[in-house]
Amino acid sequence: MLQYCLLRRYRFLLRQHAQVIKRCYSGDIRNIGILAHIDAGKTTTTERMLFYAGKTRSLGEVHRGNTVTDYLAQERERGITICSSAVTFNWNGKRINLLDTPGHIDFTMEVEQSLYAVDGVIVVLDGTAGVEAQTVTVWTQADKHKLPRLVFVNKMDRPDANFEKCIVDLTEKLDAKPICTQYPTKSADGQLGIFDVITMEQMTWQQNDLGRNYSKVKLESSTELQEKRNELIDQLSGLDDELADVVISTESFDKVSNELIGQALRRATCQQKVVPVLLGSAYKNIGIQPLMDAVNAYLPMPEERNQMYDCFGNDFAGKVFKIVHDKQRGPLTLVRLLRGELKRGMRLLCSARGQAEVVSKIYEPLADEYREVGSMQAGDVAICAGLKSTVTGDLLTSSHTSLKNAQKRLLQSRGAAMPQDEDEVLDDASHELFSIEPKIPDAVYFCSIEPPSISSQTAMEQALKQLQREDPSLRVSYDSVTGQTVLGGMGELHMDIIKSRMLSEYKIDVDLGPLQIAYKETLGSSAITTLSVDKDIAGSKQSVSITLQLVSDQRELFSLDKSPENVQHLNALRPRILGVLRKGAVSALERGPRVGGQVVDTQIRLHNVTVGRGTADSFVMAAAAQCVQKLLITSGTRLLEPIMAIQIVAPNERISGIMADLSRRRALIRDVTSKGDRNKIILVNAPLAELSGYSSALRTISSGTASMTMQPCGFSEMNTADESLAVRRAQGLD
């Protein structure tokens, strides 16, 4: 008995010890994203971090095309980042997992996905441009995910850089509370240096060793710096009670220690009350080490976030946030480990579809060079090989039992009573907790895609399938009228990237047709008709008579007429016939008669059908499709055009010019509000068709003072004149 007790005690201690180790370990991880407007310097900053952390031996440069994170050849050629890649490095005893993210509007979905996996972000500003259009977009996204953030004001080496303007922009355009922990300074020879406000030191970088070493000189006697430090403490103590208590009890700012300020700044940053601002020049190798120090010091540890997954205890839970294709290793799944441990060879259950899969290999990420490891712990980001059916957004768990237990614990912790019908309510809970599948935006542009020869059609389709798993915002369909494969997507760059990737990764040189706006069509007026077809095919008589009606309806695609004269007959219909009939009829909605757009908000109602003996299913299907096509032509369709929601921030004196231009673009002004004393925010919806080249037009109208973001926000009807113009354009007549 005594032995048994001792053994249990020993086991208990061991377990506790293991937990302590695990906790420390996860506390030593930072999962961060890096967000910015295009060209602000994300990639250059990432390269510098990797270099100083010892992960790379030489400095990659964007313009030379040898950076680690822009690893797709396509990105290297263009010098921009398209696929966010994960990179891991160690800095001062902490492990930083960093996701580089794309900055172009066509790829906002990618940014969105990677934000599920991070606990904090660095927002890079171009010191010469301040807050730009895409900065506003990514900032809003980070808000949505409640992510603590740091701001790095880059390009401060340039003579036209303006640190103060960036701070004003942060307050006025983003409603942020910036806390400047640094200020720029110039040394005697004109070199950029940095004042650290908290430690009151001046930092200077030596250029002869690629910025690896930098000196720190204390400037205790500087009254200017002293004032800035006091100001910082004053700002912070207004937001942090602990710091306020210290200030009150010591009755002086001078006696507040650097540690206390750091802790208060960390708390306020993690609670998203403030944003610490740092500066430097990634290109000139200045200010990167303090930036990494700030990541360690102020951004949250994994265990401080995602508390809702505590219900898994020590069981494994992970979230798939990206799938990439690797030439040698095939599809790789990037998983954020939320709880427990992931081991090589482990069986994982995909909770949404109940499928089980085995992780054959686990890699630690370093852009496209991956290092294989045996296991990884909660808090980290793992790259898994061997998962074939998982898609982005899936929650992975170790077993069905573990998932069920987690759900029960979650319900209990929320004080919900255990349900009678356990399965049903657990499903509801799991839906709430685990369904974070990203919403896939509707395509707003489309174009045809053609293989170089008929023989490569299958290879092209396979390649497109894989590309779609990686990028769900790419739509692929087949147009049976023209016999072409059609790509739907978010913009010109999006399609171009697909074309280049087909060539570089799959060696298929596809041709893209002209880019067209993806209109939808909707029913003009309700209509009903009967179609009877009789044919002799290879000696067998085929005959169908079918009565269908089209009505406007947003909920159901297909229904049976409920009137007394039809209901009995329809109820006696064989399910197989009903199935093929439905399939044929619904397929006809894929292409409307006006411009071949998808027909939406339309319901097909079956009134009657008689099928002759021995008639083939395919014949019934074709007849149903034909009947719907006939109805669409007789009733006519209206076009629906894609609408973009635009947010513009501009100085007051520019507003009237911007509005005048917008009204010429058929824009609907939704709201105009003041932002600070000098700026206004305009919210408008405008048709995509009127927005080609809008960002450069806005730049001209506002002399570069306005910033803008744009995203698709549904489809809407157009007036007859605009409609016929659109039809002429779609038919290539205009």
Q: Least distance (Å) from Mg ion to the CB of residue 284?
A: 17
**Which is closer to Mg ion, CB of 81 or CB of 522?**
81
Window of 8-16, 151-159, 235-243, 449-457 that interacts with ligand GDP by CB under 6 A: 151-159
According to the binding rule CB under 6 A, does residue 44 interact with ligand GDP? yes
Task: Quote the strand ranges of 75-160, DSSP E.
Answer: 86-91, 94-100, 120-126, 149-154
User: What DSSP state is assigned to residue 53?
Assistant: T
Q: Is 101 helix (H, G, I), strand (E, B) or coil?
A: coil
Q: Least distance (Å) from ligand GDP to the CB of residue 389?
A: 33
User: What is the distance between the alpha carbons of residues 156 and 278, in angstroms, rounded to a whole number?
Assistant: 11
Cβ atoms < 10 Å from Cβ of 491: 18
Residue 411: which of ligand GDP, Mg ion, none does it interact with, CB under 5 to 8 A by kind? none
Of 41, 302, 318, 489, the residue at the interface with ligand GDP (CB under 6 A) is 41
**Which is closer to ligand GDP, CB of 291 or CB of 324?**
291
**Which is closer to Mg ion, CB of 81 or CB of 182?**
81
According to the binding rule CB under 6 A, does residue 103 interact with ligand GDP? yes
Q: Least distance (Å) from ligand GDP to the CB of residue 161?
A: 8
The pair of three-digit structure tokens given for residue 302, joined into one six-digit string? 């994994």
According to the binding rule CB under 6 A, does residue 80 interact with ligand GDP? yes
Residue 39: which of Mg ion, ligand GDP, none does it interact with, CB under 5 to 8 A by kind? ligand GDP
User: What is the distance between the alpha carbons of residues 542 and 244, in angstroms, rounded to a whole number?
Assistant: 87
**Which is closer to ligand GDP, CB of 103 or CB of 584?**
103
According to the binding rule CB under 6 A, does residue 36 interact with ligand GDP? yes
Q: Where are the alpha helices (DSSP H) in 328-376?
A: none
Of 62, 122, 382, 706, the residue at the interface with ligand GDP (CB under 6 A) is 62
Of 27, 65, 79, 524, the residue at the interface with ligand GDP (CB under 6 A) is 79
Residue 489: which of ligand GDP, Mg ion, none does it interact with, CB under 5 to 8 A by kind? none
According to the binding rule CB under 6 A, does residue 281 interact with ligand GDP? yes
User: What is the distance between the alpha carbons of residues 636 and 618, in angstroms, rounded to a whole number?
Assistant: 27
Q: Least distance (Å) from Mg ion to the CB of residue 107?
A: 11
The pair of three-digit structure tokens given for residue 479, joined into one six-digit string? 């147009």
Residues in contact with Mg ion by the rule CB under 5 A = 42-43, 81
**Which is closer to Mg ion, CB of 442 or CB of 496?**
496
The candidate with the shortest Cα–Cα distance to 44, out of 61, 27, 29, 25, is 61
Of 29, 32, 35, 40, the residue at the interface with ligand GDP (CB under 6 A) is 40
Of 38, 527, 645, 681, the residue at the interface with ligand GDP (CB under 6 A) is 38
Which secondary-structure segment (H or E) carries 76? helix 73-78
According to the binding rule CB under 6 A, does residue 63 interact with ligand GDP? yes
DSSP 398-418: S-HHHHHHHHHHHHHHTTPPP
DSSP 496-553: HHHHHHHHHHH----EE---EE--EEEESS-EEEEEEEEEEETTEEEEEEEEEEEEE-
Q: Least distance (Å) from Mg ion to the CB of residue 649?
A: 24
According to the binding rule CB under 6 A, does residue 283 interact with ligand GDP? yes
- Residue in this structure with the two tokens 């059916």, named with its chain if needed: 389
Of 22, 158, 165, 630, the residue at the interface with ligand GDP (CB under 6 A) is 158
Q: Which residues are annotated as a binding site for GTP?
A: 36-43, 100-104, 154-157
According to the binding rule CB under 6 A, does residue 42 interact with ligand GDP? yes
Which secondary-structure segment (H or E) carries 232? helix 223-237
**Which is closer to ligand GDP, CB of 39 or CB of 380?**
39
The candidate with the shortest Cα–Cα distance to 632, out of 610, 602, 609, is 602
Q: Least distance (Å) from Mg ion to the CB of residue 105?
A: 15
User: What is the distance between the alpha carbons of residues 639 and 588, in angstroms, rounded to a whole number?
Assistant: 16
Of 135, 154, 202, 547, the residue at the interface with ligand GDP (CB under 6 A) is 154
Q: Least distance (Å) from ligand GDP to the CB of residue 37?
A: 7
User: What is the distance between the alpha carbons of residues 96 and 87, in angstroms, rounded to a whole number?
Assistant: 8
Q: Least distance (Å) from Mg ion to the CB of residue 63?
A: 11
DSSP 255-309: TS-HHHHHHHHHHHHHTTS-EEEEE-BTTTTBSHHHHHHHHHHHSPPGGGS-GGG
Q: Which residues contribute to the site for ligand GDP (CB under 6 A)?
A: 36, 38-44, 62-63, 79-81, 103, 154-155, 157-158, 281-284
